[in-house]
Amino acid sequence: MLYVIATVELNAGQRDAFLKIFHEVMRKVQAEAGCIEYGPAVDKPTPIKMQSPVRDDVVTIIEKWKDLPALQKHLGQPHMIAYRTQVRDLVKGVKLQVLESA
């Protein structure tokens, strides 16, 4: 199993618009072969001292995939190509981490 953490940095004030588009594509991704988990998360302020500062213009996408071929196929799906076009003007940058169990 692979874990993917995608950190999406958005242009200021664009989080709600991004999440609306993301939720539209999310169901299609969750139906893909090999997708175990796929969903967005946003920073939550807490009184925990070791927590990093809250990022209002960041969405973290948490994913689990059966294997690398499933993840690679996902990246080329027509709905993902359309999604990337839809959010292009909202996104400042993306960092991707692909992890495996240790």
- Listed in sequence order, the residues at least 6 apart from 3 whose beta carbon sits closer than 8 Å to its beta carbon are 62, 63, 64, 98, 99, 100, 101
Q: How far is CA 24 from CA 6, 20, 35, 47, in A?
A: 17, 7, 16, 33
What is the reported pLDDT for 27? 97
Please state the domain extents for the chain. Answer: 2-100
Residue by residue, pLDDT tens for the chain (102 residues) are: 999 999 999 999 999 999 999 999 999 999 999 999 999 999 999 999 999 999 999 999 999 999 999 999 999 999 999 999 999 999 999 999 999 999
- Do residues 26 and 39 lie in contact, with contact meaning Cβ atoms separated by under 8 Å? yes
User: What's 2-100's CATH class?
Assistant: alpha beta
Residue 72, pLDDT score: 98
- Looking at residue 90, its pLDDT comes to 98
Of 95, 85, 102, which Cα lies nearest the Cα of 6? 95
The model carries a pTM of 0.94
Residue pair 10/92 in contact (Cβ under 8 Å)? The answer is yes
Residue 23 structure tokens: 């939720």
